[in-house]
Amino acid sequence: MISQYLLMFATAFGAATLLPFYSEILLIAQLNAGLHPAWLWLAATTGNTLGAGVNWWMGMKLSEYSDRRWFPARKADLIRAQGWFTRYGKWTLLMSWMPIGGDALTVVGGIMRIPATPFFILVAIGKGIRYALVIGGVSAL
**Helix (H, G, I), strand (E, B), or coil: what is residue 123?**
helix
Q: State yes or no: pLDDT of 93 exceeds 90.
A: yes
C-alpha angle 17/18/24, rounded to 5°?
Answer: 60
pTM of the model: 0.87
Give the pLDDT mean for 46-60.
94
Q: State yes or no: pLDDT of 51 exceeds 90.
A: yes
Dihedral of CA atoms 51, 11, 138, 73 in degrees, nearest 10, equals 50
Residue 18 banded pLDDT, cuts 50, 70, 90: low
The per-residue pLDDT for 72 is 67
Residue 79 banded pLDDT, cuts 50, 70, 90: confident
| Inter-residue contact 52 to 96 (CB < 8 Å) | yes
